[in-house]
A and B are shown apart, each in its own frame.
Chain A
Amino acid sequence: MVTTLQPPPPDKAPAPPSGDLRTLIDELVAEQGKLRTPVACFSEYHNRQPDLADHYRNLIPLSRPGPGEQYAFEVALDRCTGCKACVSACHNLNGLDESEAWRDTGTLVGGKVAPGWQQTITTACHHCEDPGCLTGCPVGAYEKDRSTGIVRHLDDQCIGCSYCILKCPFDVPKYSKQRGIVRKCDMCHQRLSEGEAPACVQACPTEAIRIVKVPTTDERRDFLGSGILGSALPDVAITRPTTRYVGREVPETSFAADREQLVPQHAHWPLVFMLVLTQAGIGLLGAPIMKSAISTPALTWLGAILFNAGMAAATLHLGQPLKAWRFFLGLRTSWLSREILAFSLFAPIPLLLVAAPFLPFIPHVDPIAQALVLPAGAVAIFTSAMIYHDTHRSLWRLPFSATRFFGTMLAFLFLGLGSYQPLFLPLASLTICAKTAPELYTCLLGLREGAWTPDRHSGRLLLGPLQNFTLWRFGLAALAAVVVLFNPWLALPLLVSSEILERQLFFQAVQAPKMPGHAGPAALH
């Protein structure tokens, strides 16, 4: 309590910073620093049922799902009006990191008649029937609960490889840099199991979100007017999301408000280097096929170094690399598991080739290892391509990915062969040019006016925000294609650089399916 307010000086002159003003300042600053703990005044009695229990009682099922059923979110579009409280509640009530929320909102717009149609879309994990995250995870860090159908992420099992992020067509799992793992919505299973509603359900002022039981083998899946060409909405056939959007008809003309947002995706630099360097390494290691590794130590050493540098780069991609030994748990469904296996099996070959001159006592080590390089390498590269193909992202479909990945390998193979047999140099040059076909095609699409498609979106990214990289990519490739005809060793750094750029653009220009976002400028990835 301030009791030192002094009467004014009699002459009403401006007070200098006198002693009593300083005293008052000290007292007020000290008082400002106090928190009068209101426990005594306002503490309430503990241990009563949650105050909102009556509010959400009708918004969650009375009983657990029976056989052939699972829990699902149901969103009443006619009640969802864009307040976004669900996102904040998810953040606060789950105690998530500063910028983390497992629910997000966006807008669908469209309609041919005036006034235009618009709808806020709130979205969390769809707890899919066939979750892409689960099938993609190499270490089994996802489980689909047998009785509730909730797709749960095991945070301590996760190795932070982010493949689930690429696999989810709805952009649900999010990587946490500070933790080195991915986290995602678990439908507040801890709350549900005790009859409390999930945070978003509790917090919706208009009761637009509820938990329902849905049949698990249902083919209906009237999701969100999806399948509309050019809507930028994900294809529900991939993972069979269980969320139901009801209450308002979604016109066929509607599309995501952020469809035209040209935001480059994450570059995934460790993966860029991993892919390019392993493919280059395999190509170079395969090059001595017409001679022998022992007689071409430069090729073999260079190939082995590039390959192993690529393998080392791969581990940098993992948030929790020490837990990656469990990779075999995903072999049944995950191409990432298969890739790790394929590369692990391939890994001794470069070592053997390098070591061959020092292992004269092992018969035929050189020719056997040499003969294995290309078939085993091809298998490994195929698993790499399948990783991306399996995400169902348009730019990463197998013909495109395989052309790029095997193209890189072949370019380096021919370059290596050309180093001792110049007849192969035109072939190297041709390969360098030919493998740009998917990129050129995508750029051409971006140039032409036309309705939105994922490929055209990629093309616009390449010619828009990524323009400079695209120019350098093609420029370096052209230069390498020319120089390689005269001097393969001089062309080598050019080729490596151009392929690195190619792979950066592979990641950055992809159109990643996601739920609708908001219009306007977006934050960069």
Chain B
Amino acid sequence: MRLISNSPATPVIPAFLKQHDGPLTRDLVQAPGDFGLGKVPARLKPAATTTSICGYCATGCQLKLHLDDDGRAINLSPQANYPVNLGMACPKGWQALDPLAAPDRGTTPLLRDANGRLQPIDWATAIDTFVSRFRDIQTRHGSDAAAYLSTGQIPFEEMAFLGCLWRFGMGFHHGDANTRQCMATAVTAYKQSFGFDAPPYTYADFEESDVIVLVGANLCIAHPILWQRIMRNRRAPKIIVIDPRATETAQAATHHLQLRPKGDLALYYALAHCILRDGRIDPASIERTEGFDEFAAFVKDFTPDSAVEATGIPAETIEAIARDVSEPGKRVSWWWTMGINQSYEGVRTAQAIINLSLITGNIGKPGTGPNSITGQCNAMGSRLFSNTTSLVGGHDFGNELHRAKVSEMLGVPLASIPTEPTIAYDEILRAAEDGKIKALWIVATNPFHSWIDSGRLERLRDKLEFLVVQDMYHSTESARAADLFLPAAGWGEKSGCFINSERRIAPIRPARRAPGQTLSDFRIFQLIAHAWGCGDLFEKWTDPEAAFRILRDLTIDRPCDITGISGYDHLDRAGGIQWPLGRAALQAAASVEAHSQDPPHSTERRLFSDGIYYTPSGKARLLFSPPAPMPEPPDAEHPFLLLTGRGSSSQWHTQTRTSKSDILRKLYPSGAYVEIHPRDARALGIVDHQIVTVRSRRGSMIATAYLAPTVQRGQLFIPMHYPEVNRLTHPSFDPHSRQPNYKACAVAIVP
């Protein structure tokens, strides 16, 4: 008899008594995965692989999809050697296939019947209803009477199709996207300061900085792969986090400025004051700006002492930070996300950061820059191609030459091209409240959860004659309110391109069959174009890659020129390509490096190394205004200031997708919770994990109290992922970008 001896602690046991093998054991046997994968579960060994950019945030990680013999994705892992994520991903990326199999996927169009119930219909009826209802509204009320609300989550070929179809083909004027909730402030700030919406950086700048300032950005959980890039920095950087909360990122940083919410504009002006006072400036860089004298005069009054009240930060700390961010010879980079963007004065705050970079010469060089980190996977694509605030392809509606160019290249009659951008998201909703907009078409977004003061959406629903929602799921808060629901294929079921935060363009690929009668957004737009009678305009838009080529050609001579990209295969081979890559530049580079094996352009490229900006004068503008008062400060009745933001790395926005993955659900709390400082809680008699009510002037919600020492006294934090939270938020907006101010409203909390 064979004897198995296990460990000294275990007696010798005859083999027949121990089942070391069997069906349950074999479930977990691994086999070499090939394709550079290492070991994988033997059951899930791929027959082939393909790649796709992750469809959640704008980091733009590439995922390697493991395919079975039918080309169906059965597993995935992050792609090694991709210049963005280097083989890593956050849980959302790892679980990207899970939401595709959810039982609440829309599989057929739905139409609300006379009894108010959504009933399945066929596509022909759906499209006919769509066209006749919108046509009717247009005939009766004009082209301002309908609008679409779209997304930063679909490929830009689809965004462009939607924007061109709506405005050029169907002749409606207004349509905006949820990118208004996320990036509008950065867009406006860059446009005003640089003459074009141009985040100047490349992710390698994280690794090449000496001082990294993170403002209102919780990279550790919102963009974990970007934090990975910081951890790869070998220059022992100072990492300064400016945030009202002691976030995960603040915990990991070398310095944390726990400032008062919305105190940052005063802070940056005070920093500029110190820097100018001490002469720690870069004259060559200032030479490339406009408005320096006015700016210098403006910040003269912003002494560190004067900023103590607004920021809650001691004057000596402000002085020290001013020295840190202006240290001669040091590379200083500034990075911001929603802490800046979602504010009533976000544009000026972003520009205050841009100004600091400009006066200290921290721009256009490795490890520098005023860098906005984007939210959604394709917000950057939306910025160039959505045809909403800017004319498709990085053009201006107001520019006659641009309109003529687009008209000629797209074959659109010049008269069909509006001379003005769309009205903004909040203005669309106000027009709907006022009865001026009668119909909305919501595409791949969930405003009934996400829009600020979301109760307004529910109230204006009854004023709409027609609401169309096009989404993967028939269960979203918005889809449930629709008159007509169009089932859309999701990420993983269609192709197209995303553009990430650092301007890198890369494709996504279909590797799952969409359920039932579901169609990709691209195909839905094709159907609508055809049925509306403007199919000829889109004759050449036969598939996403054909649309890509049309859009690519349109970018010629613009800052975002990508005419040097031959197609999806080129993007794949190159590991994604950052704009710009013009045909001319590519050819010039190719002739220099003809003998080299490397691609004829670097995989990490940044803007403005030549000091030439996109303004008419070629100089950057220093823009500023005095800090504005908070729209709804706490008072006796509502004594707490409510902050909102991301809850965890496994949650995405309104959770229509992340809530479909069992693994992701394990990684975040199952219901809403409110973070409150333990001493505030004690004063109110609230104990940890007690159920409490949080109330604002607009609504109230129930949440579980979490006594978090990481929030400041007088402040509460609730993650944005729970639908209740936007019943509380205050509908105030940045005057320049019209971006909602999600992160500051007055609330009360009661046990």
Contact = CB atoms under 8 A, between A and B. Distances in A.
Contact of A85 (B94, B538, B673, B712): B94
B504 to A, nearest CB: 18
Given A37-B67, A101-B663, A206-B228, A51 B37 contact: yes
8 contacts: A17-B125, A37-B71, A51-B87, A83-B220, A118-B248, A155-B28, A205-B231, A207-B231
Contacts of A83: 90-91, 220-221, 224, 227, 649
Given A15-B530, A44-B35, A179-B24, 7 more contacts: A83-B90, A83-B649, A114-B712, A115-B712, A118-B709, A205-B228, A205-B231
Interface string B1-16: 0000111111101000
Contacts of B668: 518, 520
A102 to B, nearest CB: 10
A89 interface: yes
Contacts of B85: 205
Contact of A196 (B39, B649, B708): B39
A452 to B, nearest CB: 9
B94 A92 contact: yes
B666 A28 contact: no
B603 interface: no
A187 to B, nearest CB: 13
B670 interface: yes
Interface string A40-69: 011110111111110100000000000000
A110 interface: yes
A482 to B, nearest CB: 37
A157 interface: yes
A487 to B, nearest CB: 45
Contacts, number: 359
A360 interface: no
B663 A2 contact: no
A235 interface: no
Interface string A325-368: 01001001000000000000000000000000000000000000
A109 interface: yes
Interface in A136-168: 140, 143-146, 154-158
Contacts of A43: 35, 48-49
Contacts of B569: 41
Interface of A: 1-3, 5-9, 12-17, 20-22, 24-25, 28-29, 31-33, 35-39, 41-44, 46-53, 55, 78-79, 81-85, 87-89, 91-95, 98-99, 101, 104-105, 109-111, 114-120, 134, 140, 143-146, 154-158, 179, 181, 183, 186, 190-191, 194, 196, 202-207, 257, 259-262, 326, 329, 332, 518-523
A518 B11 CA distance: 40
B671 A520 contact: yes
B35 A46 contact: yes
A277 B500 CA distance: 64
Contact of A15 (B29, B509, B533): B533
Q: Which 4 A-B pairs have the closest CB atoms?
A: A116-B709, A520-B669, A95-B41, A156-B22
A101 B70 CA distance: 28
Nearest to A146: B7
A522 B17 contact: no
Contacts of B11: 332
B324 interface: no
Given A29-B519, A44-B36, A104-B666, A146 B225 contact: no
A165 B59 CA distance: 39
Interface in B469-519: 489, 493, 509-514, 517-519
B98 to A, nearest CB: 8
Contact of B531 (A21, A50, A144): A21
Given A81-B248, A91-B663, A93-B41, A140 B649 contact: no
Contact of B76 (A3, A33, A44, A92): A92
Given A37-B70, A38-B509, A521 B710 contact: no
Contacts of A326: 17
Interface in B511-548: 511-514, 517-520, 523, 526-527, 529-536, 538-539, 542-543
A2 B161 CA distance: 15
Given A15-B532, A81-B248, A118-B710, A521 B523 contact: no
Contacts of A88: 89-91, 94-95, 663-664
Interface stretch (B250-258, B626-634, B734-742): B250-258
Contacts of B47: 39
Interface stretch (B128-136, B178-186, B293-301, B617-625): B128-136
Contact of B526 (A2, A84, A120): A2
Given A29-B517, A92-B76, A13 B125 contact: no
A93 B40 contact: yes
A21 B87 contact: no
B662 interface: yes
Contact of B71 (A31, A36, A206): A36
A242 to B, nearest CB: 14
B151 interface: no
Nearest to A1: B542
Contacts of B13: 140, 329
A28 B529 CA distance: 13
Contact of A120 (B75, B77, B248, B258): B248
Nearest to B221: A82
Contacts of B35: 43-44, 46
B706 A98 contact: no
A196 B38 contact: yes
A518 B20 CA distance: 36
A154 B23 CA distance: 11
A84 B81 contact: no
Given A14-B533, A84-B648, A206-B231, A519 B708 contact: yes
Contact of A5 (B7, B90, B535): B535
B50 interface: yes
A31 B25 contact: no
B454 interface: no
B36 A157 contact: no
Contacts of A29: 123, 517, 519
B249 interface: yes
Nearest to A19: B124
Contacts of B527: 21, 24-25, 28
A374 to B, nearest CB: 34
A111 B250 CA distance: 15
Contacts of B50: 38, 41-42
